[in-house]
Amino acid sequence: MAGNENKILDAFKETQTVEKVDTSKKLKVGIIGCGWIAGAHIAEYKRMEDVEIVAGADLIPGKAEAFFRDNGVENVRCYPDHASMLDNEELDAVSVCTYNKTHAECAIYALNKGVSVLLEKPMSVTLEEAVEICRAEKKSGKILSIGFQPRFDPNMKMVKKIVQSGELGDVYYIQTGGGRRRGIPTPFGTSFIEEKTAGIGAMGDIGCYSLDMVLNALGYPKPLTISGYKSAYFGKNPAYFTSEGKPAAYADLFTVEDFAAGFVRLEGGIVLDFRIAWAMHLDTPGDTIIMGTKGSLRIPSTECWNGSVGGPMKIYHEVAGESVETVIPVLHDHSKGCFYQKIRSFLNAVKEGGKSPVPSSEIIINQAIIDGIVKSSELGREITVEIPAI
Ligand SMILES: NC(=O)c1ccc[n+]([C@@H]2O[C@H](COP(=O)([O-])OP(=O)(O)OC[C@H]3O[C@@H](n4cnc5c(N)ncnc54)[C@H](O)[C@@H]3O)[C@@H](O)[C@H]2O)c1
């Protein structure tokens, strides 16, 4: 019933937000890393009248040239790496779409050249790299936004609105994460599963979304201590890959985690219980729940965790002394899409000198938690988290 009502109400809404873009100045944009996700970036840039894609770079010879040709964008100057591109071009902005392990060097190089950066998630592999990125950003005075498109999903905005409204009272416990029964990402090769390219596995791919969903809603409280665990029982098993129609040799290359969990004490007396899986013998490791002194919110997990909601959210609370549930129907996106908004909001900040839409000051905390889980897991004990001053 709620779904039908929603559809009826949706019919009265505008199908797209009217957006005025100043086309008097064209932004010169470059793309660093011309792989899978770069395809989503170029598709959105092509929809924007104030963008000129002038340069691209990829380490693999010929890959950048083929990428722009296949995407129907002409007269793009192609380079063999980020440094040669940034040394030779006058750019307003770049998308850093490289694998995780080169996020920091590419972002820092661009910021040092005075170029604003839209950096794909995760921000980096380690906390130390994230700190260096933030310092380069501060020195440059340019815009740095991290590529968390679920931030623009109306359902994620609703999670934040509910928490910020005080409807739940004081939040004291959060369970978040997600998982896939079978979902180690090797669609176009092994850059997600090798330490030398990805650095981190399920946490950097999908875990960072779960963390952002709850931490953004709470205003990104800092982590104090972390007890972490990680494992790789599926990725290191050749039978996993052959059952997926992939080469058994992928198991030898698999050098990141396919499962991680963390018990994190956050400032403000909040506890965060996190788990993320690329593969497991289970449908889901659980919904996201945010428990508060006045009410609790349940956010159903998707079967294949990807940073969106898997069904209507529910608030469990008391009304007139009775225990009741309020259902929040799934909200539909009437904009040009989350990915478009992630890029548009970044470019608007570049043009207007505004605030970063997904700021490093928040995402460094996301990265500190991932980094803390890695370090705690390797040490086999709880660690104290210290985020250096920027
Ligand atoms: N936001 C999303 O929805 C989303 C989805 C998928 C991937 N991602 C993120 O995007 C990043 C890239 O993922 P992908 O699937 O496109 O990987 P990919 O392996 O398909 O592409 C990465 C490309 O970067 C190139 N590269 C690496 N270092 C470089 C450098 N210094 N200079 C120039 N080129 C360089 C590689 O040669 C490769 O072609 C990852 O960090 C991933 O987490 C985000």
Pair 281, 234 in one domain: yes
Pair 77, 135 in one domain: yes
Q: Domain range for residue 66? A: 27-147+338-359
Q: At what angle do helices 127-140 and 103-112 cross, to 10 degrees?
A: 10
Pair 192, 165 in one domain: yes
Query: Exposed e or buried b for every residue in 169-193, given b needs 16+ CB within 10 A?
Result: eebeebbbbbbbeebbbbeeebbbb
Structural domain contains residue 195: yes
Distance from the alpha carbon of residue 103 to the mean position of ligand 1, in angstroms: 9
Name residue 186's amino acid.
T
Q: What is the CATH number of the domain that holds 96?
A: 3.40.50.720
List, edge to edge, every strand of the sheet that includes 270-277: 322-328, 313-319, 295-299, 288-292, 171-179, 270-277, 259-266, 223-231, 383-384
Alpha carbons 16 and 5: distance in angstroms, whole number: 20
- Structure letter (DSSP) for residue 332: P
Structural domain contains residue 384: no
Pair 310, 163 in one domain: yes
Q: What is the CATH number of the domain that holds 206?
A: 3.30.360.10
User: Can you give the pLDDT at residue 334?
Assistant: 86
| Residue 98, ligand 1, Cβ within 6 A | yes
Pair 249, 322 in one domain: yes
Distance from the alpha carbon of residue 311 to the mean position of ligand 1, in angstroms: 30
| Residue 310, ligand 1, Cβ within 6 A | no
Nearest atom within ligand 1 for CA of residue 187:
15
Name residue 157's amino acid.
K
Phi, psi of 77, deg, nearest 5: -80, 130
Structural domain contains residue 378: no
Structural domain contains residue 143: yes
Structural domain contains residue 208: yes
- pLDDT tens, residue by residue, 182-222: 999 998 899 999 999 999 999 999 999 999 999 999 999 99
Q: Residue 351: CB partners within 8 Å, gap ≥ 6? A: 22, 25, 27, 50
Instruction: Choose one of 332, 348, 377: the last residue of a domain.
Output: 332
What count of residues does the chain have?
390
Note the pTM of the prediction, 2 decimals: 0.95
Nearest atom within ligand 1 for CA of residue 57:
33
| Residue 102, ligand 1, Cβ within 6 A | yes
**Is the Cβ–Cβ distance between 253 and 193 less than 8 Å?**
yes
User: Can you give the pLDDT at residue 3?
Assistant: 52
Distance from the alpha carbon of residue 192 to the mean position of ligand 1, in angstroms: 9
Which position has the token pair 């931030």? 151
Q: Is 90 exposed, middle or buried (0-12, 13-18, 19+ CB in 10 A)?
A: exposed
DSSP string, 116-175: EEEEESSS-SSHHHHHHHHHHHHHHT--EEEE-GGGGSHHHHHHHHHHHHTTT-SEEEEE
| Residue 83, ligand 1, Cβ within 6 A | no
Structural domain contains residue 382: no
Pair 189, 249 in one domain: yes
User: Can you give the pLDDT at residue 10?
Assistant: 56
Pair 195, 325 in one domain: yes
CA distances from 141 to 3, 108, 129, 135, 231 (A): 46, 12, 18, 10, 40
Pair 113, 180 in one domain: no
User: Can you give the pLDDT at residue 80?
Assistant: 98
Question: For residue 326, what is the enclosing H or E element?
Answer: strand 322-328
**Is the Cβ–Cβ distance between 145 and 345 less than 8 Å?**
yes
Structural domain contains residue 374: no
Domains identified in the chain, total number: 2
Pair 219, 288 in one domain: yes
User: Can you give the pLDDT at residue 335?
Assistant: 86
Phi, psi of 167, deg, nearest 5: -55, -30
Pair 249, 201 in one domain: yes
| Residue 147, ligand 1, Cβ within 6 A | yes
Alpha carbons 164 and 166: distance in angstroms, whole number: 5
Which residue among 81, 85, 98 has the greatest number of ligand 1 atoms within 8 angstroms of its CB, and so is best to mutate?
A: 98
Nearest atom within ligand 1 for CA of residue 98:
24
Structural domain contains residue 13: no
User: Can you give the pLDDT at residue 22?
Assistant: 78
Residues of the chain where predicted confidence (pLDDT) is lower than 70: 1-19, 304-306
Distance from the alpha carbon of residue 57 to the mean position of ligand 1, in angstroms: 11
